[in-house]
Structure 1
Amino acid sequence: MTDWLVGLMDRLGAPGAGLAVALENLFPPLPSEVILPLSGFTASQGEMQLLDVIIWTTLGSVIGALALYGVGALLGRERTLAIAAKLPLVKTSDIEKTEAFFQRHGRMTVFFGRMIPIFRSLISIPAGVERMPVLTFTLLTAAGSLIWNTIFVMAGYVLGENWHLVETYVGIATNVVIAIVVVAILVFIGVRLAERRKGRHASRR
């Protein structure tokens, strides 16, 4: 992974870092906590300009996010509802509640979502489904990504050869987010199963 990133930046420079970040949006297993600090470290060695790295990685974030926005837009509301109707334990009302939340808080969700592990990429899809204005989505994504990218690029720049420490600490935060998501899913499943059992008991009376 690291060798591939180094080779990409050796060949393309800062645009290579931007390309890697764009791919990270589409393929989350390519972690930004590796790409960005490594880019900052490379800049600290004088092989790339720091400002160029920040600009290109932010551009890469926006391009990757727009691609996923397009996926959401192609999916659309009707297809999303149709898929939800076929999923066990999921109700159409769940999607409608999510829509209502996104209509009220969509801008803040897109902006801050760009700074939360795992959700950084996924948040683009509901934005596309809800057809958030493309310009608004692009500006919010660019602003959130600029903050996230600058922090991690600068961390790699300052830490130098110890840039990999960033991955360690972000990995802890990512695990916390995953744990919260898993607990939320388990609670959701538990509540739905309880509701289903109550419904069966009520129908028998």
Structure 2
Amino acid sequence: MTETTLAATSSAGDGSWLSALADWTVSLMDVIGPVGAGLAIALENLFPPLPSEVVLPMAGLAASRGSFSLAEALIWTTIGSIVGALALYGLGRWLGVERLRRIADRMPLVNVQDVDVTVAWFVRHGGKAVFFGRMLPIFRSLISIPAGVAKMPLWRFTLLTAAGSLIWNTIFVLAGYLLGEQWHVIEQYADILQYVVIAAVVAGVAWFMVVRVRMLTRARRTRTDGA
């Protein structure tokens, strides 16, 4: 498929920033082939607002048009996922538990113990968190940071990231490969999943803040009554 035809197909959207992202992804793949798809996914890992649910179908679409093979699309997007995840893992290792404790100590409504509890939980359940987290919008990027903080063995983190990413990438690359010009249909379902995740995060943060404020209020009342 020629560059003009593929670019025209990717621009079939509504002129939104998602369509612009699709065009940019196509341009990368036109210039450097499947490596461009891998580069786009690596950047998506570093910048969660960039949705893999748009980038991956474009790789499948390019493969369906003969720009490169389906296997190349899956291999390079998975490599991109691993590279991006390793960068955030390195950030987590650099932050470390002690630095996070110091940060938490300066933040309102956050206790140093919260860091210890989170790290302890990740030590016990980190494997499942990394594997399944690679299949959730937003979390697929951010889960790499606590893995680094908790010092999950690099080989284990890489293996789990590769496995989870391969499943996620395969779903969306195949969708783009099979749907062809109708790849935009994927956005509707991907948006629903992303909204559900965002709503869950907002609800969790709100619950945490309410509980913590109540605890602080009770503690102040206890000190006042004791005085």
- Give the TM interval when normalised to the shorter protein: over 0.9
Separation in 2, partners of 1:112, 1:180: 16
Deviation at 1:30, TM superposition (A): 1.6
The alignment yields a C-alpha RMSD, in angstroms, of 0.8
Q: Return the letter of the residue paired with 2:180.
A: G
**Structure 2 partner of 1:183:** 203
1:124 to 144, 162, 165: 144
Relative to the length of structure 1, the TM-score reads 0.98
- Aligned-pair CA distance for 1:62: 0.2
Letter in 1 for 2:41: V
CA apart distance, 1:164: 1.4
Displacement, 1:66? 0.3
1:127 & 1:166 partners in 2: Cα distance?
A: 30
**CA drift at 1:3:** 1.6
Asked if the contact 2:131–2:163 (Cα under 8 Å) also holds between the matched residues in 1, the reply is yes
Give the match for residue 121 of structure 2: 101
Count, aligned residues: 205
Say whether residues 1:41 and 2:51 are aligned partners: no
Task: Report the CA distance between 1:113 and its aligned residue.
Answer: 0.6
* Residue number in structure 2 paired with 1:87: 107
Contact 2:97 2:115 in 1 (8 A): no
What's the offset of the Cα at 1:93? 1.5
State the Cα distance separating 1:165 from its structure 2 match. 1.3
* Structure 1 Cα separation of the partners of residues 32 and 69 of structure 2: 13
Q: Which residue in the other structure is 2:183 paired with?
A: 163
Supply the distance in 1 between the matched residues of 2:118 and 2:48 (Cα, whole angstroms).
23
Does the alignment pair 1:143 with 2:163? yes
CA distance in 2, matches of 1:90, 1:180: 20
Q: CA deviation at 1:20?
A: 0.4
Which digits, 9 at most, give the CA deviation of each residue in 1:171-202, with x for residues without a partner?
Answer: 11100110011011111111111111111111
In the other structure, the counterpart of 1:11 is: 31
Indicate yes or no: 2:84 matched with 1:71: no
Render the CA deviation track for 1:154-181: whole Å, top value 9, x for unaligned: 0111111111111221111100110011
Per-residue deviation, 1:46: 1.1
Corresponding residue of 1:54: 74
C-alpha separation in 2, matches of 1:4 and 1:173:
24
Letter aligned with residue 114 of structure 2 = D
**Is there any run of 5+ residues in structure 1 with no aligned partner, and where?**
none
**1:90-146 Cα deviation digits (max 9, x unpaired):** 111111111111111111111111001110000000111111111111011000000
2:16 maps to which residue?
none
**Which structure: larger Rg?**
2
Taking the aligned partners of 1:10 and 1:85, their CA distance within structure 2 comes to: 49
**Structure 2 residue identity aligned to 1:167:** E
1:29 and 1:134 map into 2 onto residues whose CA distance is: 26
Q: Hey, what's the Cα distance between the residues in 2 that align with 1:61 and 1:185?
A: 27
- Distance in 2 separating the partners of 1:75 and 1:199: 31
- Does the residue aligned with 1:154 lie in a helix, a strand or coil? helix
- 2: distance between equivalents of 1:112 and 1:170? 16
**CA deviation map 1:38-64 (0-9, x unaligned):** 110111111111000000000000000
Unpaired runs of at least 5, structure 2? 1-20
2:134–2:140 Cα contact (<8 Å) kept: yes
